[in-house]
Amino acid sequence: MALLEIQGLRTYFKTQEGTLQAVDGIDFNLDKGQALGLAGESGCGKTTAALSIMKLLPANGYIAGGKINFMGQDMARVTGDKLRAIRWRDISIIFQGAMNALNPVKRVGEQIIEPIILHEKVDEEVALKRVKELFEMVGINPSRIREYPHEFSGGMRQRVMIAMALACKPRLVIADEPTTALDVMIQAQIIALLKSLQKDLDLAMIVISHDLSVLAETCDVLAIMYAGKIVERAPAGEVFYDPHHPYTRGLIAAFPNIHGEKKMPASIAGNPPNLINPTKGCRFYDRCFMKQDICKTKEPPLVEIKPGHWAACNFVPPMKG
């Protein structure tokens, strides 16, 4: 049995203009120790998918359909204390924007010690020892536990967040844009750190980013989202070497290639569709270079095109047999 099973998940928001279909029928499984990358442009529903799993949706958001199964439990039925326990001990999340997630007037050490004491029911001394171990693990000098968040640089703050997420030895860590707003050198450091932690601790991980490069190295499987749907899902290497969906191809082509000739990378012109009453056909229609009339009306299902490689495009034929 998979650690996490997501089937047909739909998460909607009530807004003044109508119902916004932020996540609209996504499926994936995640095994113990496996890392999955969720990629796609801003607004495609990545964070909403993560918040749905954590049951942390804002008041106007609700799960409109589908199933989330975590360690054999139907998350729809988990509430109260049990939910709170799952949130720290079993699943933890590293939020986008580390500065906002940390309390600016509290020493970083305290911010990690508290949940450890609360959830593991240990005394302060044990918790402190654990925090020091965690700091070592994420590459921060343990002597810094008495410092405040503002005394840390962006990259160091992100390491604090990672330490915090690992505090109660979770099985699943969700990292939402863990390197966005960091410069490329620090980004490379954080990605390398996440990768080694995932391996050493045998963590299951969902890494979320608009930037495929962040996921290429850390993840076993990538799911490319567009306008609330998964349009391609495959092993990470496959996505790069044999992308099928025109959107995936566009995302890859958007990277400058410093080892190639000097030329401007392609971009995906246009904007994603409005998710309130989206059109019937393929949601990528407006921006697709392969579009035909049929795409206006026929929504392509996600089909397996070769073992373990799925895509949702009217012009990508399913695997035979």
Partner 1 sequence: MVKDILVVKDLQVWFPVRQGFIESLVSKEQRYVKAVDGVSFNIKEKEIFCLVGESGCGKTTTGKGILRLVEPTGGSVKYYGKGKEILLKDMISDALAKGKITKAQAEKMTAEGGIDVRALHKSKMKKLRQKMQIIFQDPYESLNPKQSVYDIVAEPLVVNGIGATEAEREKRVVKALEDAGLRPPKDFMWRYPHEVSGGQRQRVGIAGSLVLEPEFLVADEPVSMLDVSIRSEILKLMLDLRDNKGLAFLFITHDLGVAYVFSDRIGIMYLGKIVELGPTEEVVKHPAHPYTKALISVVPTPDPEMRRNQIILKGERPDPSNMPPGCRFHPRCPFVMDICRKEAPATVFVSEGHWVSCHLEKGQAK
Nearer to partner 1, 6 or 194 (CB): 194
Nearer to ligand ADP, 85 or 188 (CB): 188
Binding-site ranges for Mg ion (CB under 5 A): 47
Question: Which residue in the set 58, 72, 260, 307 belongs to the binding site for ligand ADP (CB under 6 A)?
Answer: 58
Residue pair 91/82 in contact (Cβ under 8 Å)? The answer is: no
Residues in contact with 292: Cβ distance below 8 Å, sequence separation at least 6, in sequence order: 314, 315
User: With the C-alpha atoms ordered 202, 7, 165, 188, is the resulting torsion angle positive or negative?
Assistant: positive
Where does the chain show beta strands of DSSP type E?
4-15, 18-30, 35-39, 61-70, 73-74, 91-94, 172-176, 204-209, 221-226, 229-235, 303-306, 309-311
Count of residues in contact with ligand ADP, rule CB under 6 A: 16
Cα-based distances in Å from 86 to 83, 123, 220: 5, 21, 24
Read out DSSP for 143-175? GGGGS-GGGS-HHHHHHHHHHHHHTT--SEEEE
Task: Verify binding: residue 231, ligand ADP, rule CB under 6 A.
Answer: no
**Sheet with strand 172-176: strands edge to edge:** 91-94, 172-176, 204-209, 35-39, 221-226, 229-235, 309-311, 303-306
Question: Which residue in the set 22, 30, 231, 316 belongs to the binding site for ligand ADP (CB under 6 A)?
Answer: 22
Binding-site ranges for partner 1 (CB under 8 A): 41-42, 153-156, 181-189, 192, 210-217, 236-237, 239-240, 250-252, 254-259, 262-269, 271
Task: Verify binding: residue 149, ligand ADP, rule CB under 6 A.
Answer: no
Nearer to partner 1, 99 or 252 (CB): 252
| Binding partner selected for residue 75 from partner 1, Mg ion, ligand ADP, none, CB under the kind-specific 5 to 8 Å limit | none
Spatial distance between the Cα atoms of 128 and 310, rounded to a whole number of angstroms: 46
Burial of 213 (0-12, 13-18, 19+ CB in 10 A): middle
Nearer to ligand ADP, 42 or 73 (CB): 42
Nearer to partner 1, 103 or 271 (CB): 271
- Residues in 252-291 at the binding interface with ligand ADP, rule: CB under 6 A: 275
State the minimum distance, in angstroms, from the CB of residue 188 to ligand ADP.
17
Nearer to ligand ADP, 60 or 257 (CB): 60
Residue carrying structure tokens 């994603």: 272
| Binding partner selected for residue 231 from ligand ADP, Mg ion, partner 1, none, CB under the kind-specific 5 to 8 Å limit | none
Task: Verify binding: residue 20, ligand ADP, rule CB under 6 A.
Answer: yes
Nearer to ligand ADP, 55 or 89 (CB): 55
Residue 275, both tokens: 């998710």
Residue pair 246/313 in contact (Cβ under 8 Å)? The answer is: yes
Question: Which residue in the set 25, 43, 139, 154 belongs to the binding site for ligand ADP (CB under 6 A)?
Answer: 43
Burial of 124 (0-12, 13-18, 19+ CB in 10 A): exposed
Orientation angle between helical segments 154-166 and 108-120, nearest 10 degrees: 10
State the minimum distance, in angstroms, from the CB of residue 209 to ligand ADP.
10
Nearer to ligand ADP, 17 or 293 (CB): 17
State the minimum distance, in angstroms, from the CB of residue 176 to Mg ion.
6
Task: Verify binding: residue 47, ligand ADP, rule CB under 6 A.
Answer: yes
Q: Which residues bind ligand ADP (CB under 6 A)?
A: 13, 15, 20, 22, 40, 42-48, 58, 60-61, 275
